[in-house]
């Protein structure tokens, strides 16, 4: 259990961050005996290594568990699925030697696992449990012995308003009661936990911050190369490291040094980094094309400069708040964020607040003006609520859409863990509901077990955006980040055209909208047998007016630097195919999507809803006629990483000769006015969490 103290504004601060309740979280990443009634295996060591470079992060997790019991066991290792992460490497040590897993269809993998288990052979299988967790079954774990596993996953890392964010999930999401009954919360590492993250940025980095963790050391090698380390030995206290971002006053220094040692794997690790000010908008690209005459893969990141004006007219804001039982432990975080959002409304705005658990009800009597008196009254009602009941997301969304005022600009803010289990739960029905009205939906996705696929599909269908929120996040900063977008124009109906080079399979297929400070990442295939210049056009609409941006740059005929982006392309393509299945069900146009997902997952060795990764004793792969394709792919990726590790951070910008965007990048709080920006909140966070003062009256 983690207990957070009540906080108020410090003198001179403009915002507060309060967590008003004790929050029970369940640590993930435990190896638990199956069907034995015995407690979890001891976690001897937990080592995490993260490299963030060139628009994606590679996370390597190595753990050693010990079986203290006097019998051999079968065990289950479970951890939350990180945001947009593709698992491509799973290694299980068999007879003291590392064996790389291979991907086969899910039913086949489970069948092989059971056969090998009955035969007494060492075997492990990695499976995806819907959108919630990856689960690894291991057998046998020998009595009195250690078991060692290694997992590698990759994910794109986008910057938002010049700020990057990486989350290493350690909290079980707490939305599945069956799963909760399975956990006993043995989250202590008996020997050592280490977390080592390196940022290799193509642009200068101004500062790095880690929230709510002890034992943090942050160091800067140069403007583009930063290291974050957390090394907690068992029983060793440590303090949070200095953010290396300006001077730190003595009171703040003392506050964080006096923070208690966490010592357990029960809080997400959230790392933020901020780029230097006044950087230009740009186009960056990395590629992988080992064969001159074969298929290549590219990942292109487009970062517009400031080209979006503030929106001055009043808006209608509809807040849909999840008060179901699964929000216990998260609701006060939600309430504090809503409180800060309401305080930012203007006198021209109107507000509605809808609550839902088993069914929806309206907290406000229709729209109410955003006067200070009304806002204070709403805040008091919202913070007094105690979550319980089921989760009828559809009913809440339906109530909001039915009473929209077509004469005013409207924005729907949905805050939920997104596990719809009451009423209508089919994603297809949600999409159909959203299509009945022209409205932007913005979602705050709470916790690691939230139904991200559902919520991200809904926001995409309405051309809104989704923001993930961890209990270890700065919810006020995340709210500020979102409000800074909604209060400015946005780029809608984006269309990217590439001519001069053959391209196929570009993801996302329909980019939709881009809000202030956001980046657009495109991943696709290309063909050219020589270095060839292509023209790239970015077409969009801003406040009803057509805008075009153009540039030219080279697509290389051969490059071997970034083989991982093949898996990233496969992951995003699979996501699109799965979204179509979820959105349209058994529609004839999408009946082959499942097989397409299986084929892509097997080719690029990814764990999905329909494929798993199996580890066998080496000779058994031949017995089951399983080719060692992933072993070869992993070796290729590791060789490329080793080469990149010897290189200094490099610019990946490709539009220097013909810049696509004019102007500088947009930053939260970058327009002056004295407002406390997101980054300032992150720097103040330890102080806000340490000092206990009477809460301010609303």
Peptide bond into 508 cis (omega under 30): yes
DSSP 3-state assignment of 6?
coil
The pLDDT assigned to 12 comes to 29
655 by Cβ neighbours in 10 Å (0-12 / 13-18 / 19+) ranks as buried
Pairing outcome for strands 163-168 and 502-507: unpaired
**How many residues are listed for the chain in this entry?**
698
Amino acid 404: pLDDT: 81
Query: Which pLDDT value is given to residue 674?
Result: 34
The separation between CA 366 and the C-alpha centre of its own chain, rounded to angstroms, equals 34
| C-alpha pair distances (Å), 335 with each of 267, 330, 383 | 20, 9, 6
Quote the CA–CA distance of 487 and 349 in Å, as a whole number.
Answer: 12
Q: Which two structure tokens, joined as six digits, stand for 324?
A: 């179901």
Question: In this structure, are residues 496 and 508 in contact, taking their beta carbons and an 8 Å threshold?
Answer: no
**What is the 3-class SS of 584-622, one letter each residue?**
HCCCHHHCCHHHHHHHHHHHHCCCCCCEEEEEECHHHHH
Report the DSSP beta bridge partners of residue 86.
154
How is residue 424 annotated by DSSP?
-
Given this model, what pLDDT does residue 625 score?
A: 96
Q: Which residues pair with 286 in a beta bridge?
A: 299
Q: Which pTM does this prediction carry?
A: 0.81
pLDDT at 300 (0 to 100) = 98
**507, β-bridge pairs:** 523
Q: How many CB atoms lie within 10 A of CB 615?
A: 27
CATH architecture observed for domain 315-480: 3-Layer(aba) Sandwich (3.40)
Domain ranges of the chain: 27-275, 315-480
Position 205 scores a pLDDT of 95
Measured CA to CA, the distance from residue 364 to residue 380 in angstroms comes to: 12
CATH architecture of the domain with residue range 27-275: Sandwich (2.60)
Gap between the Cα atoms of 417 and 449, Å rounded: 7
Q: What separation in angstroms does the CA of 601 have from each of 112, 136, 362, 587, 605?
A: 18, 18, 44, 22, 5
Across 95-145, where does the E strand assignment appear?
97-100, 102-105, 123-129, 133-141
In the chain, % of residues over pLDDT 90? 38
Beta strand 123-129 with 133-141 is: antiparallel
User: What separation, in Å, do the N-terminal and C-terminal C-alpha atoms of the chain show?
Assistant: 29
Largest CA distance in the chain: 73
Residues in the chain where the model's pLDDT stays below 70:
1-31, 35-36, 131-132, 172-191, 233-266, 418, 447-449, 471-484, 585-590, 666-698
Nearest to 563 by CA among 289, 182, 206: 289
Tell me which DSSP letter residue 589 carries.
Answer: G
């Amino acid at each position: 259990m983690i207990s957070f103290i009540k906080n108020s504004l410090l003198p001179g601060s403009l915002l507060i961050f309060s967590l008003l309740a004790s929050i029970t979280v369940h640590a993930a990443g435990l190896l638990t005996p199956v069907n034995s009634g015995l407690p979890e295996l001891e976690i001897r060591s937990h080592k995490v290594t993260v490299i963030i470079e060139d628009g994606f992060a590679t996370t390597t997790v190595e753990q050693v568990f010990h079986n203290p019991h006097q019998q051999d066991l079968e065990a289950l290792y479970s951890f939350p699925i990180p945001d947009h992460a593709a698992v491509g490497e799973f290694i299980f040590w068999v007879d003291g030697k590392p064996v790389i897993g291979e991907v086969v269809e899910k039913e086949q993998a489970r069948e092989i696992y059971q056969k090998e288990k009955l035969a007494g052979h060492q075997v492990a299988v990695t499976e995806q449990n819907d959108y919630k967790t990856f689960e690894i079954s291991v057998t046998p774990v020998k009595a009195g012995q250690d078991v060692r596993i290694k997992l590698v996953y990759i994910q794109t890392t986008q910057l938002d308003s010049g700020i990057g964010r990486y989350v290493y999930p350690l909290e079980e999401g707490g939305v599945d009661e069956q799963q909760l009954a399975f956990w006993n919360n043995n989250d202590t590492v008996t020997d050592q936990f280490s977390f080592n993250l390196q940022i290799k940025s193509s642009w200068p980095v101004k500062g790095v911050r880690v929230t709510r963790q002890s034992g943090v050391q942050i160091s800067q090698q140069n403007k583009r190369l930063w290291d974050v380390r957390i090394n907690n030995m068992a029983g060793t206290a440590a303090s949070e490291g200095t953010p290396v971002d300006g001077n730190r006053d003595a009171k703040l220094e003392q506050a964080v040094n006096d923070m208690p040692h966490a010592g357990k794997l029960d809080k997400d690790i959230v790392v933020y980094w901020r780029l230097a000010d006044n950087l230009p908008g740009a186009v960056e690209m990395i590629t992988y094309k080992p064969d001159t005459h074969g298929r290549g893969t590219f990942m292109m990141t487009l970062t517009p400069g400031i080209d979006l004006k503030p929106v001055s007219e009043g808006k209608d804001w509809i807040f849909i708040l999840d008060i179901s039982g699964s929000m216990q432990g998260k609701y006060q975080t939600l309430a504090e964020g809503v409180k800060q959002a309401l305080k930012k409304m203007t006198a021209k705005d109107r507000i509605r607040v809808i609550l839902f658990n088993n069914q929806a009800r309206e907290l406000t009597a229709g729209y109410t003006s955003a006067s200070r008196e009304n806002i204070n009254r709403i805040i008091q009602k919202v913070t007094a609520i105690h979550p319980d009941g089921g989760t009828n997301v559809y009913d809440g969304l339906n109530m909001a859409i039915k009473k929209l005022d077509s004469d005013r600009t409207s924005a729907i803010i949905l805050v939920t863990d997104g596990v719809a289990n009451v009423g209508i739960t089919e994603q297809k029905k949600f999409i159909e509901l959203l299509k009945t009205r022209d409205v932007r939906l913005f979602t705050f996705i709470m916790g690691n077990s939230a139904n991200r696929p559902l919520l991200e599909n809904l926001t995409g269908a309405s051309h809104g955006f989704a923001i993930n929120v961890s209990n270890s996040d700065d919810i006020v900063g995340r709210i500020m980040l979102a409000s800074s977008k909604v209060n400015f124009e946005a780029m809608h109906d984006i269309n990217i055209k590439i001519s001069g080079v053959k391209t196929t399979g570009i993801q996302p297929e329909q980019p939709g909208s881009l809000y202030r400070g956001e980046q657009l990442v495109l991943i696709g295939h290309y063909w050219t047998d020589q270095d060839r210049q292509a023209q790239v056009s970015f077409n969009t609409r801003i406040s009803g007016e057509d805008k075009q941006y153009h540039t030219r740059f080279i697509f290389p005929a051969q490059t071997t630097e970034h083989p991982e982006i093949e898996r990233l392309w496969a992951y995003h393509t699979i996501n699109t195919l799965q979204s179509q299945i979820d959105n349209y069900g058994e529609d004839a146009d999408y009946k082959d999507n499942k097989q397409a997902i299986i084929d892509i997952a097997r080719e690029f060795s990814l764990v999905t809803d329909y494929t798993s990764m199996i580890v066998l004793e080496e000779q058994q792969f031949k017995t089951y006629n399983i080719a060692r394709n992933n072993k070869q792919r992993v070796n290729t990726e590791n060789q490329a990483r080793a080469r990149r590790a010897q290189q200094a951070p490099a610019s990946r910008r490709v539009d220097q000769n013909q810049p696509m965007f004019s102007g500088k990048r947009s930053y939260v709080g970058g327009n002056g006015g004295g407002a406390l920006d997101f980054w300032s909140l992150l720097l103040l966070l330890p102080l806000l969490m340490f000092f206990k003062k009477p809460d301010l009256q609303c």
